[in-house]
A and B are shown apart, each in its own frame.
Chain A
Amino acid sequence: MIYSIRLTITHLYNQPAANSRHLIRVLPKTIANRQHLTTHLLQVFPEPDARSETVDFFETTSMACAHTDFHAEMSIRLACHVEVFPPAPWLDLSPDVEQLCREWQASCDLSARSPVHFLGPSPRLQPDPAITGFARDLFDPSQSTAANVIRLGQALHDLMTFDATATHVDTEAPEAFALRRGVCQDFSHIMILALQALGIPAAYVSGYLRTLPPEGGIKLEGVDAMHAWVRAWCGEDHGWIEYDPTNATLIGSDHVVVGYGRDYSDVSPVRGHLRSSGGQKNTQAVDVAIVG
């Protein structure tokens, strides 16, 4: 299946800003046997005075750009094609959580794929008693790790209401959990904290979701902007699985990965710094369509 993805992010500054620098992480990854970025065009307006591309520790491609002169608006436009392959048939090879903890404790691996980076706490996520309690209540030690991940994700989805007005990009997970409302970022942050409370390494995934459901399917939540979901480690044999708590589903071919991180801060689409006296207004528009 080939997707055509179009993204526009616009920052409007109340006061013109100068000397700004941004890191932009919006480009889909190429992952063997899963997704392949075939063509892409990433533009920034106004034209940056300098731009360079780097791949960060978690292997996300990020574009750094700098603007020297005053500008009142910055927009980022991405157009790309990504080929997504259907997932392999599901087979649960994961151990129980106790065994899982022994596995990561013995890990001597510091590569980006290693579970040891995703134990928490992380820059945005500190353990929260309410979320820990929620996780412990649901936890079934007799079942496999993967079964627990799905069980927890489903329960979180049932408990929470998708509400794009209840929270904002800086809302902390415990606050969203207390509200029982939020968007994909909040769902994912809460699920990460819940999994980590049980000793299951969990990561944040940033990416895209197809806009229109397949015929007969239901429209998914979170299609108006970039999406986020969770990646959970299920042992040396099973590796990582991905789960979308906002839509209570394991990841199939509707999701396109941009990057993995410990939380939103590691993979935020635009991380920026500028000298400006005023605030700013950000908008985002996404379209993910099937072209073949």
Chain B
Amino acid sequence: MPDPHSQPHDPWQSDLLRGYAAQVAAGAAHNDEMLARDGTVKPVWTSFVDHLAKLSSDELASRFTRGDQYLRDAGVLYRQYDESLSTEREWPLSHIPVVLGEDEWQKITEGLIERAELLEYVLRDFYGDNTLVRSGQLPATLLSQNPAWLRPMLGVGASDANLLNTLSFEIGRGPDGKWWVISDLIEAPSTAGFAIENRIAMTRVFPNFFSGANIHRLAGYFKVFQQTLFELKGRAEGEIALLSPGPMNQNYAEHAYMARYLGLLLVEGEDLIVQDGTAMVRTVAGTKPISLLWTRLPSAMFDPLELNPASMLGTPGLVQALRDGRLKTVNMVGAGVLETRALMAFLPKIARARLGRGLAMPNIATWWCGQDIQRDHVVENRERMMVGDAFSTRPLMADPSTTYLNSDANGLSAEELAAMLQRDGRNIVGQEAVTLSTSPAFENGELVPRPMCIRISMGRTEDGWAVMPGGYARVSAGADAKALAMQQGGKVADVWVTSPHKVQTPSLLSQETHAITRSSTHALLPSRAADNLFWLGRYVERSEQNMRLFRAYYARISDGADHADTVPAYMRAQLMENVAPRAGAIAKRFAAPLALGLQSASRISDRFSPDGMMALRALVKQVQLLDRRPVAVDDIPVEISSLLRQITGFAGLVHENMYRSDGWRFLSLGLSLERAANMCAVLAACTDDAAPAGALDLALEVGDSVVAHRTRFLVWANTASVVDLLGLDPQNPRSVRYHISRAKDHIAHLPRQETGHILTQAARLVMTLETRLSTRRAEEVTPEFFLQIRKDIWDISDALNEYYLV
């Protein structure tokens, strides 16, 4: 019992529940997950319903917000595409779970494991000796015409290794209460990572309920799956990496999450290169071998040389590495052919031939229109039929291009339809339009029954298949099952598999008492990741610098200066790239680099702390807000000061919280080089003979060193004192010298810096620069000196780029 101290309570007193029951009774649903046909709450739901009914609507609202906040903070986002524009959308968590009993779950699991084994057999045949086609169990054109059947992979079916090691299924419950497989998700099932985030969010929504409820935990599954990956890799030398299509992919957040969670290297195609037949990852420490890739790419994109030549996501030569046995993948490249819609029309027969009986859990009834009998069935039952491309891998009901034969819109007569199917039948499949069971969703303050389906992940282990117990259901946005897809507003719910007994609670934390050093995986920094960290540092610093300039500029305007006055005009011309004298234009100078910084950060979210991401997101949001609301000129300096505190906070977070890895060094290098170069520009402009009166004070202000100057010098600012403090002083964290010394230190600690007297180009340049700064007296320094230093700084950046990042 979730709350043993509570008073007995009748859930039916809750409006929420009564309203829901009324809707279900009114026939909105054919079959409801929560309510039995007689209107009573199903036993596995009762304790949750009791709990829910006790919460006031205010309580509910604040709990839902808490769950959403968690997901936002964790960076769980969903990328949406809209006419070539992609935007990040909040993860659409449905706050009401789907509850299933463990007995029912057990049956589902058994059915799906049986199906997984059948799929393994079919896949092996597709890439092996093609018995299924030769014996007439499958039409030849279903492979020969199938873009997902990858000819270069033929022959791998002969290998002993399992071809499928992880897969997901989407299943739905029909009106008769039985479960059906809606789709086989083989290629890049994005289930597990999101499931665990759903679960964590739900523990925030119903914190008091979880401790007492016997809900099967998800974490154990990941441990098992991690084990599987390491076993697959075996003793082969090399790393395990998760190959992702990159940040533009809608599931990138999950890829980053899984990589971090399982301790895998997260790579993209451009990180890899095939050398001497071996897949290698390009890291700042040189190329390192990869022996196992968990690939989340569509198979055809894996290798542009032998597969789809247009692929920008893969790496040329990978297929050869597979053929040579130097690389393994999870799953087999080419396994996506199993997702072909038309295959569902033949699996039942293949199962009967192999098992001697039908599958325990059938798939959604499907007819391939390339055969007379099946085609006739579709024509005769057109009232209930939908048809679509036989080779598509999307479920018919989730595909906008699906044709519903009962609708008058397409106005085909039976003869016309028969002729169309006759002509092009081998490219068309039909399925019966399905009705899914409903489950409660919370909309506008009430519970509504919504069609739903469950997604189930499983992974192979030494002892057979392990199934993740729950975690992921898709809930339609409307009464119609067609709106299941997230792109169309559908939501994602947690699935709770409950037990009458106490469940095991595997901890996410290891039980071992001694620390085990991770394999070198985390020490490896792919060049692309280093590049993004470096640029993150540079962009954030550039944004900060431009904020300071903006504040200094408006401090003068709000003091009564005109945009055309000497100091503001000089600032714009010399330090602000001749920006137009408008607040919006000037603000863009810090908003734009900040947005770019966030972009860089989101490309490496697996190596960047969630707190850092949060801080950065908050900052970008703040800047966007500032852009939208009117701010009086007099208030600008104050507003910007608040932004500056935040951005300095970010830098502090980096400095205080980040592990001193190579990644941290590249980020810090970006910060230091950018800051030193920017300070050079300020000093060159403000110590120039042409600089207006007040320019030296401006330099101190922008360099945040007004107080330091007062402490250090007894005089008013003069050229020598400003040059000394902001240019040459090794103790001032705002000075050029300070950051050049820091950069030197970072560079010396980077990998592949030779010991002894042989220096890399970057090390040589930075050392020369430091020497020049430390041997110069303030009085001798000219603006040209600083311009030269600035140029030299970018030479260091180029040298680093060439050596580590290209």
Q: Which residues of A contact B (CB under 8 A)?
A: 19, 21-23, 49-50, 52, 54, 56-58, 64, 66, 68, 105, 107-110, 114, 116-117, 119, 123, 265, 271-273
Contact = CB atoms under 8 A, between A and B. Distances in A.
4 cross-chain pairs, A with B, having the tightest CB-CB distances, nearest first: A57-B151, A273-B316, A116-B144, A21-B316
B145 A116 contact: yes
A114 B275 contact: no
Nearest to B300: A123
B154 interface: yes
A49 B317 CA distance: 13
Interface stretch (B134-142, B550-558, B615-623, B765-773): B134-142
Contacts of B275: 66, 68
A58, A64, A66, A117 — most chain B CB neighbours (10 Å)? A66
Contact of A119 (B135, B141, B276, B323): B141
Interface stretch (B162-170, B301-309, B797-805): B301-309
B327 to A, nearest CB: 15
A110 B316 contact: no
Contacts of B140: 107-110, 114, 116
Given A110-B130, A119-B144, A57 B276 contact: no
A110 B305 contact: no
A19 B144 CA distance: 33
A271 B144 contact: no
A114 B305 contact: no
29 contacts: A19-B273, A21-B274, A21-B305, A21-B316, A23-B305, A23-B306, A56-B151, A56-B152, A57-B151, A57-B152, A57-B154, A58-B151, A66-B275, A66-B317, A105-B370, A108-B134, A108-B135, A109-B133, A109-B134, A109-B140, A110-B130, A110-B140, A110-B143, A114-B140, A116-B140, A116-B144, A119-B145, A123-B309, A273-B316
B390 to A, nearest CB: 13
Contact of B320 (A52, A117, A119, A272): A52
A23, A105, A114, A272 — most chain B CB neighbours (10 Å)? A105
A50 B134 contact: no
Contact of A271 (B130, B309, B317, B370): B309
Contacts of A23: 305-306
A19 B274 CA distance: 9
Interface of B: 130, 133-136, 140-141, 143-145, 151-152, 154, 273-277, 304-306, 308-309, 316-317, 320, 323, 370, 426
B143 A50 contact: no
A9 to B, nearest CB: 17
Q: SS class of chain A's interface: helix, strand, loop or mixed? A: mixed
Contacts of A22: 305
Nearest to B317: A21
A110 B131 CA distance: 10
Contacts of A123: 308-309
Nearest to A118: B144
B362 to A, nearest CB: 26
B133 A110 contact: yes
B305 A116 contact: no
Contacts of A271: 305, 309
Nearest to A120: B145
Contacts of A110: 130, 133-134, 140, 143-144
A193 to B, nearest CB: 15
A153 to B, nearest CB: 24
Nearest to B155: A57
B164 to A, nearest CB: 21
A18 B383 CA distance: 60
Given A49-B276, A57-B151, 6 more contacts: A23-B306, A56-B152, A66-B274, A114-B140, A116-B141, A272-B305
Nearest to B277: A50
A208 to B, nearest CB: 24
A23 to B, nearest CB: 6
Contacts of A19: 273
Nearest to B139: A105
A97 to B, nearest CB: 14
Nearest to B129: A110
A56 B305 CA distance: 13
B798 to A, nearest CB: 15
